[in-house]
Amino acid sequence: MANFRLSGDTAFIGGDLTVNAGSALQTFLRNLLSATRTKVTIDLRGADVWDSSTVQLFLSWMKSRSEGTVTWRNMPRDMVGDLRIMGLAKLFNGATNEQ
């Protein structure tokens, strides 16, 4: 089960982020657009499972942001590896794994 929470300018996204959670994730990200205009940090510390639909939603959301910066924090090592394999790691500039 996916879980989402916004605390200040940090969005905590975790759980099962596969296509089954796609609609809920899309809604959360859409609402995040209006809640955080200039700067937002996405903390993926709790992400257990993801798939290509998760990556597509993140990319679509980043493209729809007309202003501000996105910082990726605590991205699971395997997710970073998946992004490298897909050739998309540079689009998630600054992704860290500080856990």
C-alpha angle with apex 37: 8 to 90, nearest 5 degrees?
95
- Residue 2 scores a pLDDT above 90: yes
Q: Tens digit of pLDDT for each residue in 32-86? A: 877 766 789 999 999 999 999 999 999 999 988 877 788 999 999 999 999 999 9
Q: Is residue 50 part of a domain?
A: yes
Q: Is residue 36 part of a domain?
A: yes
Domain of residue 83, CATH code: 3.30.750.24
Domain that holds residue 71: 3-92
CA end-to-end distance (rounded Å), the chain: 21
Which amino acid does the sequence have at 35?
A: A
Q: Is residue 99 part of a domain?
A: no
pTM here is 0.88
Number of domains comprising the chain: 1
Write the CB contacts of 25 (distance below 8 Å, at least 6 apart in sequence). Answer: 2, 4, 13, 17, 54, 57
